[in-house]
Structure 1
Amino acid sequence: MPSRDHAAQQQAVARTVRRTLLALVAMLGFAFALVPLYDVFCNLTGLNGKAASQARAAVAMEIDESRWVSVRFITQQGQGLPWTLEALDEQFRIHPGGQYSARFVFTNHADYPVRGRAVPSVSPAEGSLHLRKIMCFCFQEQTLAAGERRELPLVFQVDPDLPEGIRDLTLAYTLYPVTTPSSAGDDGAEHSAGGET
């Protein structure tokens, strides 16, 4: 018959194992939640140049004609998407407060329809709080037919309260595949970037 001390010791060990397992489960849950939480935080604060993913209303602002800001557009290819994205207007020299329109061309190089999305980021990161995207293809996923070439606009403003030290803004778009069915009534004929139905 085990001694009372031995039974107490086994209970203490069992309690420690349970607490350790609970802590491990909590840490795993936090690790999985960290990425979406970070994205939400970046979207709200503009940290790391994450640009808002929703349209902002055009605002009638006084145009600061005493100041020039250079806005440059960069496009980057994400993996697994047979598209290219080209900025037809690569750079603007603008007055803060004005409203401007840039043109971009998407091309699907696959022989089947493909869904994808252009995800924006702004540098310097502080500039993302002052770059207002009024109309942008980045607000929703795009579906391109086989071999389709499509020109889409970006309408934007830079707030006049952009800090004086910022004279250059870079808006980068990275293409990513969309592999989940579209909420707009996917008929199953479209392909993800990997070519699956």
Structure 2
Amino acid sequence: MSLVTERAQANRRVLKWGLLATVLAFGFGWALVPFYDVLCEQILGIKPTMEAVANPVCADGAKSRKIRIEFDTSVDANLPWQLTAEHSAMEIETCKPATAKFVARNLGAFGMNGQAIFSTAPGESAAYLAKTECFCFTQQHLEAGQSREMPVRFMINDQLPESVETITFRYVFNPVSNYAGNDPVAGTPKS
């Protein structure tokens, strides 16, 4: 067998294994999505939510009750921002609109974009929550040194199980590409 033929066979073998590895990697990534959902919801009790659930159905004449809402905020290490809640917790009544205020501050030397990911704990509470306004719905841009107050307006359905007395709202800010297409970590220089 000639050297050219051996190389051609070796190249075909490498190509076949490479394609198989690609298909398997794609399949593995695809399978991780439901695994992640099960891990978060069943084991950790967190239900990731990116959008508001439909408005709560509050029964006429239903007796409202008080619910404690706690706020947990954090920022990805690659985003030099600070996110704080005006209050670490608040007490609200079901079926009554409530507003929580947060302040985001860019501590970095460059303007940057970030977007918050929202989740609730316990995870089942997300089905009884409607947010009408939230900074997590869109990307936020802060120039170097800039801070912004960001309200979250929401309501809790009166059908929330009686066993749930406290709900934790968790916000994690992550860097995203700047509007100019720059790297989110490098950012854009302050003018």
* Pairwise TM-score range, normalised by the shorter structure: 0.7 to 0.9
In the TM superposition, structure 1's runs of 4+ consecutive aligned residues that sit over 3 Å from their partners are 20-26, 34-39, 45-48, 55-60, 62-66, 194-197
The answer for the alignment partner of 1:123 in structure 2 is 121
1:133-162 superposed Cα distances (whole Å, 9 cap, x missing partner): 211000111000110010010001111111
Identity of aligned residues (%): 27
Quote how far apart the aligned CAs of 1:112 are.
Answer: 1.5
Alignment length, in residue pairs?
A: 170
| Residues 95-114 of structure 1: pairs in structure 2 closer than 5 A | 95-114=93-112
* Shift of residue 54, structure 1, vs aligned partner: 2.1
Q: CA RMSD in A?
A: 2.9
TM-superposed deviation, 1:25: 4.0
The DSSP-based 3-state class of the residue aligned with 2:187 is coil
CA–CA separation in structure 1 for the residues paired with 2:46 and 2:143? 31
Q: Which amino acid letter does the alignment assign opposite residue 92 of structure 1? A: M
Gaps of 5+ in 2: 1-15
State the partner residue of 1:4.
none
1:28 to 18, 21, 25: 25
Q: TM-score, normalised by structure 2?
A: 0.75
Residue 87 of structure 2 corresponds to 89
- Give 1:50 deviation, angstroms: 3.0
Other-structure match for 2:185: 193
More strand by share: 2
The match for 2:6 is none
Distance 2:159 2:20 in 1: 46
Task: Give the structure 1 partner of residue 10 of structure 2.
Answer: none
TM (normalized to structure 1)?
A: 0.73
Which structure has the greater CA radius of gyration? 1
